[in-house]
Structure 1
């Protein structure tokens, strides 16, 4: 049997400095006999030198298309949309299994090249839970962005660009200063999905900032709605993935209804899904423009950034990589259930093309 080869690609998306494998984790995989190649990256939060010191084979940036055919290409965010066929096995967040237009194009590329998408979102244990997730840090950072949006509103403005932080301590210090500068009260917030990783991250950030929270999960939303409580809070956080049967939490006419709600933090961030529970916006927001104003008076802003953990790239990378490492170590096990299920999920969706 040939040596298993994991190829860690350099991310090509703006404001994406995270990585799913640390040098310590790479050394652990190398010790099992796996070959680990890592592309040079000037933006990755962990230095190239640290990977080289761990024993990884360093490669040219973005050279993964020329990697040996049996290499498994590992990245986090999306590939450039250049339409080229994909012949390798890829581990990544593909966002391709819910009918998204870009996802369908990605599946077509895999079909054309004969490759396989092993989607990180669909690496599940025997009970259907994700084996690794950035969710906590998405919630934590997403709550911070929503509070920045609220703080800007207090002076009649809209939130300006956001940036990455060296640590969560640094983020909290800067955010506290923004809130104090408003001279206003602290808002209250409703969190739906509060028992999950994302919801816990939102709740922890809100607690640190003195924001009172109402925390809902499945028990509070089984009625299917409507949910007037959403409009009665100043902030609303959606931490529930869009899927068939997900209730609508914010209907399309919410902006014109009587409400206290002024900022929606859609952490799940799937606006182009038919099942999105937030019906007042149709596109993600960005680091340069984190808030989308959907109503002017009274103000209602939506923030929905799809790579929030990159605001805290080192902490989120180290946490995620530690969760994922035991599963990466199973890549060479032919009957490893996590990888078998992921491959089957891809095959089922590709077969529908």
Structure 2
């Protein structure tokens, strides 16, 4: 099987299988893995090599290929199996050409969102870290927007999530914004500044964990 190099976003460091999984598949099930090299993946090429994988660009020998984000239509090969988040199950128009190409080539798509248990509950879903990253990026984007409008604000102290080396570093960045709010308050033009969170799932919990780093008052419905 193959692991495709992620290239939709320059900050995409995730991998569908970690080196430990590759090692277990080889030792326990005699499954060989070919990994496309990547300079930004969370796990280095050497870690995959040490786990027993082959690292090369060519994935043509692999009958099944795993990825995270959408795959360019030009990558697909006849009658192969691809597993990734295709973002097509809701009929998303922007990915219909990709789905059409898969069908034309008689490929099989394993859509992570449709891997469910007997109760229909998703087994592969976003965790709290998605909520954390989303909340941090929300602060960062808000800071940029307000600055362009000439409004001084504490969120300029927050970096984009990808710029932080660790969760601890990110929380320290949010902490600096929190200290600025406690010291200087919020511009009258922005007050009251309200953030609304809907839902109680993993993503919501992650977002709330970051939001709770600020001096806030929580209002429940």
| TM-score range relative to shorter protein | 0.7 to 0.9
Superposed CA offset, 1:228-277 (max 9, x none)? xxxxxxxxxxxxxxxxxxxxxxxxxxxxxxxxxxxxxxxxxxxxxxxxxx
Match of 2:5 among 2, 6, 10: 10
The residue aligned with 2:61 is: 67
The residue aligned with 1:192 is: 198
The residue aligned with 1:170 is: 169
Query: How is 1:176-255 mapped onto 2 (pairs within 5 angstroms)?
Result: 176-181=175-180, 183-185=184-186, 187-193=193-199, 195-214=200-219
Distance 1:210 1:29 in 2: 47
- TM-score of the superposed pair, with normalisation by structure 1: 0.52
Structure with a larger share of its residues in helix: 2
- Unmatched runs of 5 consecutive residues or more in structure 1: 1-5, 217-353
Distance of aligned partners of 1:137 and 1:37 in 2 relative to their CA distance in 1, 3 Å threshold: same
Distance of aligned partners of 1:150 and 1:42 in 2 relative to their CA distance in 1, 3 Å threshold: closer
- Unmatched runs of 5 consecutive residues or more in structure 2: 187-191
- The higher-RCO structure (CA 8 Å, 6+ apart) is 1
State the 1:197 CA deviation: 1.1
Structure with a larger share of its residues in strand: 1
Query: How is 1:16-27 mapped onto 2 (pairs within 5 angstroms)?
Result: 16-27=12-23
Match of 1:79 among 60, 65, 71: 71
Q: Is 1:36–1:56's contact at 8 Å kept on the other side of the alignment?
A: yes
Q: CA RMSD in A?
A: 2.7
Match of 2:37 among 36, 40, 61: 40
Aligned residues: 205
State the 1:114 CA deviation: 0.7
Q: Is 2:84–2:112's contact at 8 Å kept on the other side of the alignment?
A: yes
Distance 2:220 2:49 in 1: 45
Q: Is 1:123–1:130's contact at 8 Å kept on the other side of the alignment?
A: yes
Q: Is 1:78–1:93's contact at 8 Å kept on the other side of the alignment?
A: yes
Distance of aligned partners of 1:83 and 1:34 in 2 relative to their CA distance in 1, 3 Å threshold: closer
Superposed CA offset, 1:288-347 (max 9, x none)? xxxxxxxxxxxxxxxxxxxxxxxxxxxxxxxxxxxxxxxxxxxxxxxxxxxxxxxxxxxx
Distance 2:23 2:219 in 1: 44
Distance 1:130 1:100 in 2: 19
- TM-score of the superposed pair, with normalisation by structure 2: 0.81
Q: Is 1:189–1:213's contact at 8 Å kept on the other side of the alignment?
A: no
Q: Is 2:69–2:86's contact at 8 Å kept on the other side of the alignment?
A: yes
Secondary structure at 1:173's aligned position in 2?
helix
State the 1:11 CA deviation: 0.8
